[in-house]
A and B are shown apart, each in its own frame.
Chain A
Amino acid sequence: MELLSGGEMIAKALEDEGVEYIFGYPGGAVLHIYDALFKTCKVPHVLVRHEQAATHAADGYARATGKPGVVLVTSGPGATNAITGIATAYMDSIPMVVLSGQVATHLIGEDAFQETDMVGISRPIVKHSFMVRHAEDIPATIKKAFHIATTGRPGPVVIDIPKDCTRPDAKFEYHYPDNVKLRSYAPAQRGHTGQIRKAAKLLLSAKRPVIYAGGGVILGESSELLTTLARTLNYPVTNTLMGLGAYPATDRQFLGMLGMHGFYEANMAMHHSDVILAVGARFDDRVTNTVSRFCPGAKIIHIDIDPTSISKTVAADIPIVGPVQSVLEDLLDIIGSLQDKDAQQPDTGALGRWWQQIEEWRAKHGLWTGRRYGESDRIMPQQVIESLYRVTGGDAYVTSDVGQHQMFAAQYYKFDKPRRWINSGGLGTMGFGLPAAMGVKLAFPDMDVACVTGEGSIQMNIQELSTCKQYSTPIKIINLRNNYLGMVKQWQDMQYEGRYAMSTYEDSLPDFIKLVESYGHVGIQVTRLEELDQRMEEAFAMKDRLVFLDIFIDPMEHVYPMHVAPNGAMKDMWLSKNERT
């Protein structure tokens, strides 16, 4: 057996765990670890320019690959800078392991230099956390952390490591365990067969069914099963913002996203349904609108691996706790045997009428058919996303920041595959897009990676242009330039009579073209609609350059549909500035 120091054990354990990238930033408390990485570790380390970006890059990597992201930061300010990114990953159930340095054990509690209680600060935003007490515990702790982060409902795990536990002169026998035993942690492996049978019967008896699928389908690698189920039954499917790509967006049965900025036909179908199959979705308030008015005629089947997601906001009639994959397999089996043996079939007459109704909704207000923009001679944000879609053949990884541009990207880029749409849904973290795109590009260097952003969001982590230079990550940044904190402005237009309290920057925006050029990248300004496609193509043709497209759009455009609030139901929507359901 090898004798290794604490620092070396960390380096070795990350290798043994199959980690592909470490995203991090050094400092006093982690210097032993960095020295060990430098001397021995085969895992490449990506030096970001701010620890928040390390967490978002690891997060983007995790969302695109399905593998856990790994972050290494120092104590004190390094650790606190990582907090926003940990919370972002936590809210969207993203697997991540964060190693944070801590002051030496004998200094803990003394307000030592760069001491902060990382386990305490991060407690409400982690799936679990560990504080290393003895260096020899390091391999087992790392193994446990990866196990917890990646199984069940995934999430971030923090390991806080006091400096003395990584000393180079104290060596220990190193052994990386093959598996972990945790007596108090056992995520569900299968759904309850009785419940699944009940669900199958209810589904087959539905007259106006909808499948409401969320991020859990992607996290649980079950897009194909979901698609099979939907096609078998010929039932319509809607996805949450986090679920986009779980069902192919170009498919006839897809109704688009649902919720606050969901498609008209998706929200109408939900409201009028009699049976909702919720899969890996958590009835978020951005989806349900007023809970007491949520889908009054619907019976709800809810499949989720985390019991706390079930009946938290909306009560489920048939709860099924289990991994979406095995539950959908069982459900398909049971549906199959019910159809064969008992000749239970979906009510095709009712289903036909339901589809007819849906097609009417679609024809009336569907985003992709009855578009209402185009009255302005400015570039409309929707057109930018459509151009992006065309130029990338619908096959890019698209990250986004938070705001109107995020919603336009979600509505207009038709994601046919899971893990292609990478955004912060639960926390809504501005500044996520650029570092996340970096993480995605490192994972898939040969793929197109676009970051759809706004001039507000991009400035929250713009320093990462330097990291992109250092590691040659030629992503394309699509800046939907409206010169406003657009989403804030939209609310101020709608609810505060257009009083733009702190949602403009006056004359203070940088010249983004010069700015990106100073980092060694390419900047292109686009102001006319006629040149949009051509510039987009030029940008993507530059395979090995980071290109920043600064696209001046109509600043007055709003995102529609938009749920009417407060007290609205799913069906209550603004469809344009002066039109509502």
Chain B
Amino acid sequence: MWLLNDPRWEGFMTKQSEQDDTVVSMERYAGKSGAAPKVDEYIVEIVSDSGEGAQKCGQTFGAISGKMGNGVWTVEIIPAEIQPPARSPAGASGIRIRVGSRRVTNMGNEAELVVAFNEQVLFSRIANGAYREGTIVLLEDKWKEDPDEKIRAQYASAVKEFQEHGLVVHELPMEQACLKIVANARRGKNMFVLGMICYLFSRDRELANKEIARTFASKGEKVIRPNIDLFDSGYAFAAERLEYHWEIPVDETADARPTIISNGNQAVGLGVMASGMELVSMYPITPATSASHYIADVFDGVGGFVHQAEDEIAAIGFAIGASYAGKTACTITSGPGMALKTEMIGLAVMAEIPLVIIDVQRGGPSTGLPTKVEQADLLSALYGEPGDAPKVVIAASTIEECFHFVILARRLAEAFRTPVILLTDANLATGVQPYPRPQLQEEWLSAPVDQSPWDDQVPAYDWDQETGLSQRPIPGQRNGEYVLTGLAHTTHSKVAYDSDTNQESMELRSRKLAALQKTLKPPRVHGDGMGDLLIVGWGSSLGGIEEAVDRVRAEGRRVSSLHLRFLSPLEPGLKEIFSHFKQVMTVEINYSDNLDHPLITRENRRYAQLAMVLRAQTLVDIDCWSVVYGHPLQPGMLQRVIEQRLQALNN
């Protein structure tokens, strides 16, 4: 139980006065019924016990908004357990939806409105800094009259506590209203709430009805009907009870290309199919599994197969076997699974087997934070194998990139005869965002397996001395017979017993990365090419970082940012770009020591992962700022960090 003077309230709850006035002003709350005031964007949360359908409600709201042409970003709030105790702060399950007139690239700062199915779940969101003074709370009020005296007392004291901290609480009999339509409100309140927020944000009702019908399509009319009734009744309920009403107009100048809306794991799944992958070999692990769920649903159509292996080692082994036999394969996993796969990744590097490995990162080490975001597998992806195991490592920074990078990864794997690790994370996996509909291309699909005779003059590893590149024989090709081995081997794939061969083949495998790097362009700087501070990021933090940088730049400060997609090889020209800034600092969602602590010095400080790589590679004294709260980086928080660094720099 959080106490009134619990330090958690402090700092996490930002005072209205500290808010940037471009983001919020009290007028936003004065939207009395009548003409709906227009707002640029709005952040809504729906929070409940798990199993009450808050996520489905929010996803549908996001889809409706996306289809209306709004920018959308959703973030799921997932408890670590499947059935945590009811009415407990740790059990908070729900979703945040940020809707804007224009493209939205991240989860934003504090929510401005939250619908809560009980009061307890709000406490953990408060502790996460999800709200601020003035945030509107639409709270289920049935607990007020609960037969259990303890619950009644908890409810009363929480409401008081919320109000004293400036939350604008509306106690509403949502349950009661739902019971007029369904016998079990637990199974319907989410659509009722959807109706409420669709009213509040002037959503297109017809579109909403279609979306509900789509959501329950597999269950038939007898389920669709009551859900539409619930929606209508929630809509009317809000119109009658609430004084708020907004419009989030669509910026008509925005990109008019055909658009799709999906989460990152679905984007990965679509990418797997569009890249011509034939086999996904996996072992269930959060937050990666839903990608395989999606693929399993649709893979038949393209003739693909999802293999659920007995463990992650077998999963990647199966994929390597298939790839060795000429079939395009990938394995999808998260941190603990990556750890198990390292020996096999080493084999794929050593024997030069094309393979795509998708790591949907979560918090580590060990079981860590299974449902939460972290970008902490970078170093293990780069260096996780014993011995030197050069491979390609790329990271998607948007949901759209989740799609395209699978295709990129597959093509790189084939062209460079190497495993390619694609890093995404929990934030991308469950976040939902609209993006331009990919224009499918036939050449993205894999070519049929070459079964023509192999030129017997060409050895199995006919390394080009310049680039290290070579073609591989595929079983079935006459005269190509060779034995793939993880042992040091010669150009003919014979076990190497002399030391020169090992030195030479290691050079050539490494050379492939240099050859790839020569084909890359230097990354684009967001903002000016010179200034005081350059923020460097990678992965899903792109939207948050750029939004924060834009805000600080709007204050006239000299800050820019740069986002890396290639981590191995690194994109070219970094040292040159860095040289135009007084200070370079990475911003990452992984652990680093904070220099403020008396024991931490520049000599013993453990840096964030990209910072470590960049320091080693460029010899620039790169600073870092990184945290592991398990949630995506809020632009507001980053803005303050950047301002502080700039101030320190200029003093």
Q: Do A and B come from one complex?
A: no
Listed in ascending order, the chain B residues whose CB lies under 8 Å from chain A are none
